[in-house]
Amino acid sequence: MSITQSCTGCGACAVICPQKCIQMKENILGEYTPHINEASCVRCGLCKKTCPQNNQPDLYTPQLCYAAWSENSEDWIFSSSGGVGACILRFCLKNGISAYSCDYDYKINLRHFRIQSIEDVRRAQSSKYSQSNSFLVFEEIKKILNAGEQAVFIGTPCQVAGLRKYLKKAYSGLITVDLVCHGTPPTKYVRDHLSALRLDKQAKKIRFRGEYDQCFTVWNDDSIVYKEARTTDSFFKAFYANEISRESCYSCQYARADRPGDITIGDFWGLHDLKTIERKSERPSLVLLNTEKGKSFFEGVKPSLFYEERNCQEGIAGNGRLKRPPGKNRLAKYFRALYPVVGFENALSGSSLVVRVINKVKK
């Protein structure tokens, strides 16, 4: 696989470049990739040395596993699973720890930002099914850590790996939380989809999970202007069918039990009977504690949770993305060929047409 295909878009190369001659830009598939200004490049090689796809970061074996729910039942509605992500952010806010998480801005760019209020926690909670530009906060995090303060970063495993490679040294003040992830499509596809729905000018907020679970839901200022189930919305269907993820997601090196983060959060699929607490909702969060630092940080978050310790094997067994990357749908190849020419919606319908024709010819 070429480096262009394996690039996860973490942006560590661009942020580390001493000449600032690497820019992260959308390629013809809408994927953020590094573009080098050859004229200013001094061939120092720092970008290659920093890239987590060239030099895999240390991975940690989970030591402790919990099934957990936020004590605040509102989080069971607004978060993706049990609301552990939201509890981590609230703990940081209360204790003056700088925490970074993501949401779509008013132009529907998904970007990481620093959590500064309870409203920011509400914006951050719930899964956004496209790729966030997390590299925008890497330099700020480094400054905080260099000042001897603590910082918490929540993101996909490739983003956590990118941040750690960029930072180079293991800061004691840094806590990384990686998500179990089944792939991220470029955010450009979300904007293309909104445009096809003629909602690009109106859309102020979008959600996939949480309150409007498994529905692609779009708000203008206060009201819902579009809501369609994952089985009928074209973007959502293609996301779950593994047709539109970034190319690197199909061979993700972090879709395994060993993790790049101090803490891992995900959906606790395959949770058996609980012994000490009753089930709070159908969607428990899976929490894996992978380092001593992660364990001691999580002790602070625990008072805001209902939780029970479980066997790590149970947490891993039910979750395919802790074992292998998602299988690439055969439609993906045709989608990628068609997208630059005919655009998002036509590439989706075009790819299924191509596969139907191929199947017919084969028969």
* Chain positions contacting ligand FAD, by CB under 6 A: 79-86, 101-102, 124-129, 132, 154-156, 179-182, 184, 265-267, 285, 319, 321
Residue 222 burial class via C-beta count within 10 angstroms: exposed 0-12, middle 13-18, buried 19 and up:
exposed
Q: Closer to ligand FAD at the Cβ: 98 or 350?
A: 98
- Which residues fall within 8 angstroms of residue 54, CB to CB, at 6 or more apart? 3, 48
Q: Closer to ligand FAD at the Cβ: 205 or 346?
A: 205
Q: Closer to ligand FAD at the Cβ: 153 or 335?
A: 153
CB of 121 vs ligand FAD, minimal distance in Å: 8
Q: Closer to ligand FAD at the Cβ: 34 or 83?
A: 83
CB of 225 vs ligand FAD, minimal distance in Å: 22
CB of 348 vs ligand FAD, minimal distance in Å: 18
From the list 241, 137, 101, 125, the residue with the least C-alpha distance to 183 is 241
Q: Closer to ligand FAD at the Cβ: 51 or 179?
A: 179
- Give the separation between CA 342 and CA 363, rounded to whole angstroms: 28
CB of 161 vs ligand FAD, minimal distance in Å: 13
CB of 277 vs ligand FAD, minimal distance in Å: 16
**Are 89 and 115 a contacting pair, CB within 8 Å?**
yes
Residue 280, both tokens: 């709070």
Q: Closer to ligand FAD at the Cβ: 321 or 350?
A: 321
Q: Which residues pair with 278 in a beta bridge?
A: none
Residue 219, both tokens: 């708000």
CB of 314 vs ligand FAD, minimal distance in Å: 13
From the list 221, 219, 195, 220, the residue with the least C-alpha distance to 208 is 219
Buried b (16+ CB within 10 A) or exposed e, 262-286: bbbbbbbbebeeeeeeeebeebbbb
